[in-house]
A = this chain, B = another copy of it.
Amino acid sequence: MPVPTIEWKNRKVRIVDQTLLPGKLKFIYCSDVKALWRAIKILQVRGAPAIGIAAAMGVVLGVQDSKAKNFSSFKRDLNKVIKYLATSRPTAVNLFWGLERMRRKAYKNKRLSITRLKKALLSEALDILKEDKVRCRRMGAYGARLVRKGDRILTHCNAGGLATADYGTALGVLFRAHKEGKRIKVYADETRPLLQGARLTAWELKNAGIDVTLLCDDMAASLMNTRGVDKVIVGADRIAANGDAANKIGTYSLAVLARYHRIPFYVVAPSSTFDFDLRSGKEIPIEERGSEEVTQFAGVRTAPKGVKTYCPAFDVTPAELITAIITEEGIFRKPFTKTLKKLKKVVSC
């Protein structure tokens, strides 16, 4: 059973505080939109699909105490909440996608009473959560088709249950392949600076009984060259219309290393991660986080005071380096500009 990363409980959003894992599995409750905004900001909840769900639930939190009597003033409250939540993190498009779905839902139901409208919004947020579960299972099933018995698979960051409402995107593929008895061997990059690979991915895979080995990010090339890696499988935070994919910093590095070692490189992401408005990855905004993520660790300073840092939270892997993109609608291959048009059509229906 995947861990219940995010749920709606008694007018509150219950999330697993991912900053405390793997040491402690603790649930926290966000009862207002500010608490939820902060939970997204400081990565208590993270992972593109989970952020999309959190954003939708955040809208419910933000408007549930609205005193608006008519749609026009409710709309003002709603848009304020949406605008606020949109400032939490810039890269994962699922955040904006979730917010947009909530806005559309409200606009479509503007004739309802405010009480009913609030209920409709909660129901939409819960739908987003439910749909994410279905998407994870479908991505897992499609992706597992590509996995062969005994495959040695390298992944980066955490694209698992903790990044979604179910068992993950990239890790969903691994969970499914494992369930199918494919006896995979997984290598997890620790993923500096925040170590989502060490803290979350190794924890999830180990709990599921999958053979997992942890390594530092700078060991991946050596691993490919000495032990051998059959596939690299990662998630994504935003994918442009041409297939360029933003994901956790270090993903692009792996893609280049995979190309050099002739290892197929797969991206697994639901349709909510695609941003068809962007022609290429160059247009994806990349979050730069605090310098202390690089200069400190667990409260311990590791670098001299005042040293300058470079610390983007994401990088963009050009489509050219991606073998295929696995979505809940199937597996997409190059030329992405052409094939992804079909995905766009399906999801905009």
Contact = CB atoms under 8 A, between A and B. Distances in A.
19 contacts: A156-B218, A190-B192, A198-B303, A199-B302, A203-B303, A211-B308, A214-B294, A215-B294, A215-B309, A215-B311, A216-B249, A216-B250, A219-B253, A219-B310, A219-B311, A225-B315, A226-B312, A297-B297, A300-B300
B214 A191 contact: no
A236 to B, nearest CB: 15
Contacts of A189: 218
Contact of A253 (B192, B221, B226, B303): B221
Contacts of A90: none
A177 interface: no
B253 A214 contact: no
A323 interface: no
A257 interface: yes
A259 interface: yes
Give the interface centre of A23, A187, A191, A214 by most chain B CB atoms within 10 Å. A214
A139 to B, nearest CB: 24
Contacts of A216: 192-193, 217, 249-250, 294, 311
A211 to B, nearest CB: 8
A308 B188 CA distance: 10
A202 interface: yes
Contacts of A206: 304, 306-307
Contacts of A22: 303-304
- Max chain B Cβ within 10 angstroms of own Cβ: one of A199, A252, A304, A315: A304
Contacts of A212: 307-308
Interface in A48-91: none
Contacts of A343: none
A218 B308 contact: no
Contacts of A193: 216
A184 B22 CA distance: 42
A190 B259 CA distance: 24
A207 to B, nearest CB: 8
Given A198-B294, A218-B253, 4 more contacts: A191-B218, A215-B309, A221-B315, A256-B260
A227 B308 CA distance: 14
Contacts of A315: 219, 221-222, 225
B312 A222 contact: yes
Contacts of A190: 192, 294, 302-303
Given A216-B193, A221-B256, A202 B307 contact: yes
B298 A297 contact: yes
Contacts of A44: none
Nearest to A187: B310
A301 interface: yes
Given A295-B198, A302-B195, A315-B221, A214 B309 contact: yes
Nearest to A211: B308
A311 B216 CA distance: 7
B215 A217 contact: no
A58 B195 CA distance: 39
B310 A227 contact: yes
Contacts of A253: 218-222, 253, 257
A219 B260 contact: no
A20 interface: no
A223 interface: yes
